Amino acid sequence: MLSIKLYKIKNTSCLKSAFYLLFLLVLACDTKKENNIIQVKGVHEFTLSDETQEHLVSIYTQVVDNPVRDELLFTNHRSEVGVVITDYEGNFIEKVGKKGRGPKEIESSRNFGAKNEKKVVILDKAQSIFKEYNRESGEVELFTYPVKDGISITSRNLTFCSEKWFAGLNLLTKPALTTAPTIAVFDTSFVLVDTLGGYDPFFAGRKDILQETTYDLNCEESVIYTAQGKTPNIQVFSVETGKKLGSTSKKPSSFNISDTFIQMVSSPQEMTKFLSEEQSISLHVAHNDNLLFLIFRNDHGVYKRIRVLNESEHFVAVYDRKNLKYIGETKLDGAILGSTKNGYLIMLKDENEMKFELIDVSVKPSK
């Protein structure tokens, strides 16, 4: 009997060892999947010309690529308003809009987009007007911004696709639920003709700040990618049907979600304290032929009213665009302010010298 018991014990030990080895093997395989090397390659460097910099005294955190021409659109965070247009070398082409309350003038220019090589649209929130500037004729068309109807545009970029304008949306009378739309669709006269999208499930039942939607539109495939300011997930929706097609699920390891974010109060003192915490904010969504990118920023304990963009840490999380699986992340050398029609990210390399770089993000599989 004794020998039988010992035999059973030995086999149990062997069985445990086998399971342990199997566990390590599975863990190693799983880790290997996530050890893909994210490669960042600079493809084009440029510095904003002196003439361009004269008009960009406090550059804003959004750069828009003209969809049909190699031009970049910039604007200011404060002071001088208007959209500054350059070529891909940073040379000044023209400035659209100037400060004032006249038909061709604006008081705010933080929300903007390019329709084509001729027309630029600026949402002047101070005047509650969309203004479409014809760069050839000099004419300006005015369209009402329907904020009085509870429609608030939250994205900095406006995108034109298939004779419609798209923008991030907040319906002021709706709570941040998965059923509340987050994308506005306007016709060419800026009449709201459709809404789509939905908030990240993270927001369910919570009253929080930084719910604003950022997005990236894939016009060729009629899909739109959305993210909210304080969450690490990208959701995908069909432009034609509005149906949710999927969502990323894994949180990038460097993405910090603040506990205070869940129970935020509205006093200025608490706001300053909150903005001084270590936390992450999703800034941009972008894509290329095969990959999907979430660009986010980490702040570390210092609140500044006027932000120096490259003082924060900036990361890009990379996903497979087809199956939305997480591939990896990497820290970047500067702030990402937008993306080009070719899928390159627009990086502010040196804020003092106003040096930029277009970067290509790709994946090198682990061996």
- 65 has pLDDT over 60: yes
- Look at residue 25 in the predicted model and tell me its pLDDT: 47
- HSE of 350, CA atoms in CB hemisphere, 13 A: 8
79 with 130, same domain? yes
- Look at residue 80 in the predicted model and tell me its pLDDT: 80
- HSE of 185, CA atoms in CB hemisphere, 13 A: 18
Which tokens sit at 135? 């760069």
Residue 103 within a domain: yes
Give which of 84, 126, 78, 77 is closest to 106, Cα–Cα: 126
Q: What CA–CA distance (Å, rounded) separates 209 from 225?
A: 21
pLDDT digits (tens, 9 = 90+) for 310-345: 888 999 999 999 999 999 999 999 999 999 999 999
267 with 347, same domain? yes
269 with 367, same domain? yes
Q: What CA–CA distance (Å, rounded) separates 291 from 283?
A: 17
Residue 84 within a domain: yes
Residue carrying structure tokens 């109807």: 149
- Look at residue 311 in the predicted model and tell me its pLDDT: 84
Strand partners, 121: 113, 132
313 with 356, same domain? yes
What is the domain range of residue 358? Answer: 262-367
197 with 285, same domain? no
Which residue has better confidence, 268 or 301? Answer: 268
Which tokens sit at 53? 């910099």
Average pLDDT for residues 244-248, to the nearest whole number?
97
Alpha helices in the chain (DSSP H): 2-34, 50-55, 268-275
Which tokens sit at 227? 């993210």
133 with 189, same domain? no
**How many distinct structural domains can be found in the chain?**
3
pLDDT digits (tens, 9 = 90+) for 178-225: 999 999 999 999 999 999 999 998 777 665 556 789 999 999 999 999
176 with 96, same domain? no
277 with 349, same domain? yes
The residue from 247, 281, 307 where one domain ends is: 247
- Look at residue 367 in the predicted model and tell me its pLDDT: 66
Q: Dihedral, CA atoms, 130, 136, 137, 141, nearest 10 degrees?
A: -10
High-pLDDT (> 70) share of the chain, %? 80
Burial pattern 171-197, b for ≥16 Cβ within 10 A else e, equals beeeebeeebbbbbbbeeebeeeebbb
Residue 34 within a domain: no
Residue 306 within a domain: yes
173 with 238, same domain? yes
Average pLDDT for residues 55-75, to the nearest whole number?
94
Average pLDDT for residues 90-114, to the nearest whole number?
94
- 120 has pLDDT over 50: yes
3-state secondary structure 114-134: ECCCCEEEEEECCCCEEEEEE
Give which of 227, 214, 217 is closest to 164, Cα–Cα: 217
Residue 7 within a domain: no
Residue carrying structure tokens 């021409």: 69
Residue 33 within a domain: no
Residue 279 within a domain: yes
The residue from 201, 221, 247 where one domain ends is: 247
- Look at residue 31 in the predicted model and tell me its pLDDT: 44
Average pLDDT, the chain: 86
273 with 358, same domain? yes
Strand pairing category for 105-106 and 98-99: parallel
Q: What is the DSSP string of 302-313?
A: ---SS--GGGSE
- Model confidence at 309, pLDDT cuts 50, 70, 90, reads confident
Strand pairing category for 244-247 and 235-238: antiparallel
Cα-to-chain-centroid distance, residue 230: 11
Alpha helices in 241-347 (DSSP H): 268-275
225 with 308, same domain? no
- 3 has pLDDT over 50: no
3-state secondary structure 322-334: CCCCEEEEEECCC
The residue from 247, 272, 299 where one domain ends is: 247
Give which of 177, 212, 229, 173 is closest to 198, Cα–Cα: 177
280 with 349, same domain? yes
Q: What is the pTM of this model?
A: 0.86
Residue 31 within a domain: no
Which residue has better confidence, 336 or 7? Answer: 336
